[in-house]
């Protein structure tokens, strides 16, 4: 499971879209509520990954092994909701590209002050670059194009993962993030392009010894615009947001962490560790297919406009990986997820 390192305790209702994903009662990942019955998370959170010596591709775990909690701060299964089916993007275990999955809940959830969906950000891209969201961006309905002044936005991540001592947290915590050093990001992941384009968004903790860790996988990178002129910081260096012109939007989904130098799995807040999120705006075709929602519904809010009732027939492709690819993906803090999956599987076998 994953945990925010040296983050701040979340307040009830502060992140009403925060989803906690469990596999057979064990914390496995974070996620985001994006409709009344859909949770966005990472593909590697729902896969059974063979040993590195095996040539077999990963397989999707049965949906009925997963549950989700919403509207809670505690790390427990109170009020858990079952999962009826899982849709996985064209995940490539060699590069970690398209590391996305959508969980469909067994029933719609009722929205309250502490449970409501997040909207998808179309990403920090040039509005003249041919994006399907260009017109809306020009009209000011969507986040402005990059580069953004540091005081005009805040990047946030949250989760129930491990703390600085690599011990699972007991409550939801959040942390401010910043775009990572370009040279370090590119050296860590050859597939990384830039903050504005490419499959990944590379970030690091905004303050020293902060960041995300094992168990936070599948959780979002939230983009929050800040009203012009509001750029003060509190005693901890966290931006003070007096008012914002919009609510936070989902910019990315946490996939993996990496460094150009060897680091132990517990070094989640090391200054040398870059954290990579899948750029969600690049995968709108998958999201509309997996949820049956229109892009407008995902970006502007509201529930599904059903596009295809037979969603379960859509193909799922998971690219087979070499041994080194599997080692890379399960390495660092992902080994914690693999351990959780293995423990759940062992528990299942013992109960049979």
User: Is 69 a domain residue?
Assistant: yes
Domain, as residue range, for 162: 8-126+147-300
Instruction: Flag whether 89 is in a domain.
Output: yes
pLDDT band at residue 300, thresholds of 50, 70 and 90? confident
Q: Minimum mean pLDDT among 170-184, 259-273, 285-299, 330-344: which range?
A: 330-344
**pLDDT at site 329:** 40
For residue 36, report the phi and psi dihedrals to the nearest 5 degrees. -75, -5
We report the CATH number of the domain holding residue 108 as: 2.40.10.10
Q: Is residue 191 part of a domain?
A: yes
One-character DSSP codes across 282-339:
GGHHHHHHHH---HHHHHH------S-S-GGGS----B---HHHHHHHHSTTHHHHHH
Reported as a single tens digit per residue, the pLDDT across 35-52 is: 999 999 999 999 998 877
Would 42 be classed as within a structural domain?
yes
Considering its fold, how many domains does the chain have in total?
A: 1
How do beta strands 119-120 and 249-258 pair? Answer: parallel
What pTM does this model have?
0.75
Q: How many CB atoms lie within 10 A of CB 310?
A: 7
The helix/strand/coil state of 6 is coil
Q: pLDDT of 54-99, one tens digit each?
A: 888 889 999 999 999 999 888 888 899 999 999 999 999 889 999 9
Name which of 251, 259, 258 is nearest 96 in CA terms: 258
Residue 111 is assigned to a structural domain of this protein: yes
pLDDT (average), residues 234-245: 42
- Please tell me whether residue 188 adopts helix, strand or coil conformation: helix
């Amino acid at each position: 499971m994953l945990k925010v390192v040296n983050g701040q305790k979340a307040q009830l209702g502060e992140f009403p879209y925060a989803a906690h994903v469990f596999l057979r009662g064990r914390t496995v990942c974070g996620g985001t509520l994006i409709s009344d019955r859909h949770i966005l998370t990472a593909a590697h959170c729902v896969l059974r990954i063979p040993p590195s010596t095996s040539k077999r591709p990963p397989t999707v775990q049965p949906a009925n092994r997963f549950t989700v909690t919403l509207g809670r701060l505690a790390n427990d299964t109170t009020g858990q909701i079952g999962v009826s089916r899982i849709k996985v993007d064209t995940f490539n275990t060699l590069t970690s590209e398209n590391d996305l999955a959508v969980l469909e809940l067994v029933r719609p959830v009722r929205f309250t002050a502490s449970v409501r969906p997040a909207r998808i950000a179309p990403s920090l891209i040039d509005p003249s670059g041919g994006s399907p969201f260009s017109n809306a961006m020009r009209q000011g309905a969507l986040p402005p194009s990059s580069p953004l002044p540091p005081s005009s936005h805040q990047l946030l991540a949250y989760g129930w993962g491990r703390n600085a001592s690599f011990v699972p947290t007991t409550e939801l915590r959040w942390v401010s993030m910043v775009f990572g050093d370009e040279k370090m990001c590119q050296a860590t992941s050859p597939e990384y392009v830039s903050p504005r384009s490419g499959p990944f968004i590379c970030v690091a903790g905004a303050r020293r010894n902060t960041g995300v860790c094992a168990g936070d996988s599948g959780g979002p990178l939230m983009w929050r615009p800040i009203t012009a002129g509001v750029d003060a910081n509190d005693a901890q260096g966290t931006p003070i947001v007096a008012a914002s012109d919009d609510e936070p939007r989902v910019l990315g989904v946490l996939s993996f962490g990496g460094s150009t130098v060897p680091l132990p799995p517990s070094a989640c807040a090391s200054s040398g560790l870059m954290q990579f999120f899948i750029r969600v705006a690049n995968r709108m075709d998958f999201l509309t297919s997996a949820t049956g929602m229109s892009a407008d519904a995902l970006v502007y809010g509201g529930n599904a406009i059903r596009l295809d009732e037979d969603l379960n027939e859509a193909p799922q492709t998971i690219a087979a990986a070499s041994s080194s690819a599997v080692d890379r993906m399960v390495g660092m803090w992902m080994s914690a997820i693999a351990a959780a999956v293995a423990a759940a599987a062992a528990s299942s076998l013992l109960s049979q």
